[in-house]
Amino acid sequence: MNIRLYNARILTMKSSEILTGEVWVQNERILYVGDGKDTDDVYQRLKLGSILWDREIDCEGNLLMPGFKDAHTHSGMTLLRSYADDLPLQDWLTKQVFPIEAKMDGEMIYHLTKLAILEYLTSGITAVFDMYLTPDTVAKACVEMGMRCVQVSGMSGQDDFAQSLERTERCYLQYNHDDPLLSYFIGFHAEYTCSRALLESVAALAHKYKAPVYTHLAETRSEVEGCRERYGMSPAKLFDSLGIFDYGGGGYHCVWMDDEDMEIFQKRGLSAVTNPGSNTKLASGIAPISEYLKRGINVAIGTDGPASNNCLDMFREMFLVTGLAKLREMDASAVDAWEVLKMATVNGSKAMNLPDTDVLEAGKLADIIMIDLRQPNMQPLNNIPKNLVYSGSKQNVKMTMIQGKILYENGRFAEAYDVDAIYGKANEIITSLR
């Protein structure tokens, strides 16, 4: 499908400069980004006589930019939104989340993932880094809905050891080749839910494929203290000593990290995926984002799952990243809004190994969002990137395009989605499991 988006402000994310012009999309990729004055040269360079547009969209001065990357989530946990709230993390997990998850099956997670995807689209999220229980049905839901999804295995001691490793390897081989919307990382749930033997097997699998590994890491103080009691070192040091991070990867949360942990992240080129909404709600702590940035550590942003957040809203996460960093450092200049916007787009692409989704330029994948600048919270247009982080909200998402397909536009989802059926199924599932 050929789509021309014109009369637009454009934030390519290669810099903070706002361009005026248009973006052309041909099938799943961006064909052109520019002021629209050199189109004859473009046609000649591409050896095109002309382009027959399927749609030409007047952006009316609104903003086009790369879609947000939700670099840590558990989509199927939409089931538990507002179900297990106002509890400490360990009680939340062991007394509420794990018991009901034990009753869930793949078909349920398929429907619940579809609900999450609707919410991602309303927030301008065009790719998710998902860790959940049934990767096959998550993949099915994402392909059917057109959502770009990087999955990561969540192996733990609750799984059958051999079966869990076998499934992870099978998914790694399958979902890095099956569909252009899908990819897969090796991972495990956390140190405190895995035996040493399982962790050693994860390291062996990573070495077999020279693959990066991701996991929940240093989310709470008690997690780190427990690991020190068991192994005499922090989780990051333990994983590094076992060779888990030899080929890169990173951690989700990364709240309670010391200097040696950060040095490991620097040395291994690891990504720290911060989840400020979840960490605030569960009182886990505030990640040292300023220190990560000073050390050149790649910082991305995740919402975490709908049970611990409870919404999948990248605008709220962006504000919390900078707001909590300022509070932690007692410095209003800490973590500039532009750095936060990069975390939500460019850095997320790096963490998720999606290099063709980081910026808007010819040849990149057409994962594009349009931001409504004609809403009062975006005016005046003193500084658009700062407006996005400090005053932006989901109400400003006017269009979400993934792989060149418009899936959400002007408050409406793609006609292929049966939205009422998705809502009805989610409520049916939670009623059946209570």
What pLDDT sits at residue 46? 75
Question: How many angstroms separate the CA atoms of 338 and 86, rounded?
Answer: 33
Domain boundaries, the chain: 2-66+356-413, 68-355
Other beta carbons less than 10 A from residue 213's beta carbon: 26
**What pTM did the predictor assign?**
0.97
Contact between residue 365 and residue 30 where contact means Cβ atoms under 8 Å apart: yes
The architecture in CATH of the region 68-355 reads Alpha-Beta Barrel (3.20)
CATH topology of domain 2-66+356-413: Urease, subunit C; domain 1 (2.30.40)
| Segments of the chain with pLDDT less than 70 | none
Tokens of 142: 């994402």
Question: How many angstroms separate the CA atoms of 335 and 329, rounded?
Answer: 10
Question: How many angstroms separate the CA atoms of 391 and 385, rounded?
Answer: 10
Question: How many angstroms separate the CA atoms of 409 and 332, rounded?
Answer: 36
Contact between residue 399 and residue 406 where contact means Cβ atoms under 8 Å apart: yes
Question: How many angstroms separate the CA atoms of 356 and 346, rounded?
Answer: 10
Strands 68-73 and 298-301: unpaired
Contact between residue 70 and residue 117 where contact means Cβ atoms under 8 Å apart: no
Question: How many angstroms separate the CA atoms of 241 and 348, rounded?
Answer: 26
Residue whose C-alpha is closest to residue 31's, from 362, 336, 374:
362
Site of tokens 């499934």: 167
Residue whose C-alpha is closest to residue 214's, from 173, 273, 169, 141:
273
Question: How many angstroms separate the CA atoms of 147 and 426, rounded?
Answer: 19
Question: How many angstroms separate the CA atoms of 398 and 387, rounded?
Answer: 16
